[in-house]
Structure 1
Amino acid sequence: MDKTDEADKTGKADEAAKIQLGAIGVWRHEDTGPGLAVELERLGYGTLWLGNVTDPDLAEAERLLDATETLVVATGIVNIWSNPADRVARSYRRIAERHADRFLLGIGAGHPEATKEFVRPYQALNDYLDVLDEAGVPVARRALAALGPRVLRLAADRTAAAHPYLVTPDHTRQAREILGTGPILAPEQKVVLETDRTRARAVGDGTLGFYLDLSNYLANLRRLGFDDTDFADGGSDRLFDALILHGDAARVAEGVRAHQEAGADHVALQLLHPADTDPSPGYRALAEALGLAG
């Protein structure tokens, strides 16, 4: 039996088993306290993505699920090199005993510049998924960070969802074609609530510049038509505008709709804001502009 058959047997093709992420979520790299999680739930966001998962016990995800009632919590991502699959699987089972319909286990290989063990990542992802299979982690409750065609196909074959990061609506359109109609497509989208580009770049440039030193993201951006002139000096205006939605909340909502029209089932918004500022007003403005039921 091949992996696709195994996935079907475990219920991936069962629409009733599909996790409900909602149309719009929030992606956060920073620690998220229970109070903010409750506020995001009240505002109508469907899913909170945890972007800096370094604990294979997944304690933060459990804490946020315990504090909320309807919000889905997703890991975006658990790095396969630093979080042993068997330990993560045990953590998943512990959490799923009480929150099976609200927890999505997202895994990924990260990038080679940060991981000395980064060797044969595609095979490593398959091996990691094998352990999750053996440990009984349902296909319908796991996602895969995916950019290129090969890993997108792996996400379709062995998980419920693909979670591309640092992408454009053009990538979303291409990813949907590769995935087909079944798997969930949940791209991350960076946002700065600032109408002046210079001020927007002052907020977003540090984040964007970090990714322009990482080969897997550069390779994906090249596939999307960007080149060395776009990557120089912290990124061109063209690149910034394509990757970081900026403007008022209504303008950002238009950019989110571009992903949806390109085939996204769910868009995870990463709101970038100056350090030591409260993001809550921004989340409220976006929820209103996006018509969330808060």
Structure 2
Amino acid sequence: MAKDGLGRLGVWIHYASLTPQLLGEVEELGYGTVWLGGSPPPDWEGLEAPLAATRSIVVGTSIVNVWATPAEQAVQGFHRFDDKFPGRYFLGVGAGHREHTGTYAKPYDALAAYLDVLEAGGVPRERRALAALGPRVAKLAADRSAGALPYLTVPEHTASLRELLGPEALIVTEHKVVLDEDAERARATARPRVGYYLGLSNYVSNLRRFGFTDEDLTEPGSDRFIDAVVAHGSAEQIAARLDEHLRAGADQVAVQVLAEDPLPTLRALAPLLATPSE
């Protein structure tokens, strides 16, 4: 799958929220990919009806957790959906968080071994990617998959990944949004949804690389931190922030709407993000 087959615009949602109606409208709005969070099973039966109800939109996992799902199951899930909906299933995998995994050890080695099984099982390199923040895993992602799926990050990180990985690697950057022009209210909406991540060492370590301090990264997070990782304001202001990732080298920005119903925000953003950056 070529990078442009995923589109410039994606949507990130929890996999349990996916319905045929939601995927259908997201496709009609022009988003090229929906990324399923929440560590979805790679053979999740709930995916079949949304794919059957749509024409071309790609659905990817973001991510299948290598500690929770055997690689053989990921291979079977990939082929199940690819056989029935050719070219429309993308396998994103990652090592999750050491704080939540009792067996978490040497995640680089675990990812490399997982990729061995995916490769042997016929999952094409261009149809798999890795959750990647630090340079070592990012290089693994570029060397042995389509590329990287960074999460909870900033355009400066996107730019650093592009410089590290070169022009060919896929970079899909997730970014959270709150459509609300009242900054204090938007931060109040966002803070409970992102403060949780400040207890996870991989995100904190990555953000420190880009100038965030202990004050910023102590739960529930400073206003500076919230404003950096959650775009808020008018649709135009949010679109401008998301476009910074595209200008920094992302192939796609995956929009995660921090609202019970993401569609009003996705409707507002779609026409503003449809034109390529200059």
Do Structure 1 and Structure 2 share a fold, with TM-score over 0.5? yes
2:262 to 276, 279, 282: 279
Which residue pairs with 1:288 in the alignment? Answer: 271
Q: Which runs of 5+ in 1 are unaligned?
A: 1-15
Aligned partner of 1:229 in structure 2 is: 215
The one of 15, 23, 33 aligned to 2:8: 23
- Cα pair distance change 1:280/1:169, threshold 3 Å: same
Q: Which range is displaced more, 229-238 or 182-191?
A: 229-238
Q: Indicate yes or no: 2:240 matched with 1:240.
A: no
Deviation at 1:19, TM superposition (A): 6.4
Q: Is 1:108 the counterpart of 2:91 in the alignment?
A: no
Task: Output the amino acid matched with 2:6.
Answer: L
Q: Indicate the residue corresponding to 1:140 in structure 2.
A: 126
CA contact (8 A) 1:188 1:267 kept: yes
Alpha-carbon deviation of 1:112?
0.5
- Opposite residue 225 of structure 2, the aligned amino acid is L
- Select 1:213's aligned residue among 189, 193, 199: 199
SS at 1:187 equivalent? strand
Task: Give me the whole-angstrom Cα distance separating, in 1, the residues matched to 2:154 and 2:163.
Answer: 15
The answer to whether the Cα contact below 8 Å between 2:42 and 2:61 also exists between their aligned partners in 1 is no
**What residue identity is the alignment partner of 1:28?**
I
Partner of 2:64: 78
Q: CA deviation at 1:47?
A: 0.4
Counterparts of 1:77 and 1:148, CA distance in 2: 16
Calculate the TM-score normalised by the size of structure 1: 0.90
- Residue 35 (structure 1) aligned with residue 25 (structure 2): no
Once residues 80 and 157 of structure 1 are traced to their aligned partners in structure 2, the CA distance between those partners, rounded to angstroms, is 18
Q: Report the residue type matching 1:224 in the other structure.
A: F
Q: Is the 8 A contact 1:106 1:144 kept in 2?
A: yes
In the TM superposition, residue 218 of structure 1 has moved relative to its aligned partner by: 0.5
Q: How does 1:169-184 map to 2 (within 5 A)?
A: 169-184=155-170
- Structure 1 counterpart SS, 2:129: strand
Contact 1:34 1:63 in 2 (8 A): yes
1:192 is matched with 178
Q: TM-score, normalised by structure 2?
A: 0.95
* C-alpha displacement of 1:60: 3.1
Query: Could you tell me which amino acid in structure 1 is paired with residue 21 of structure 2?
Result: G
Alpha-carbon offset, residue 17 of structure 1: 5.0
Contact 2:12 2:255 in 1 (8 A): yes
What is the Cα deviation at residue 183 of structure 1?
Answer: 1.1
CA distance in 1, matches of 2:201, 2:3: 33
Give the counterpart letter for 1:96 in structure 2.
D
Question: Please, which runs of 5 or more residues in structure 2 have no aligned partner?
Answer: none
1:100 partner SS? coil
**Helix, strand or coil at the partner of 1:124:** helix
CA shift digits 1:73-111 (9 cap, x unpaired): 010000000011001101111111122311110000011
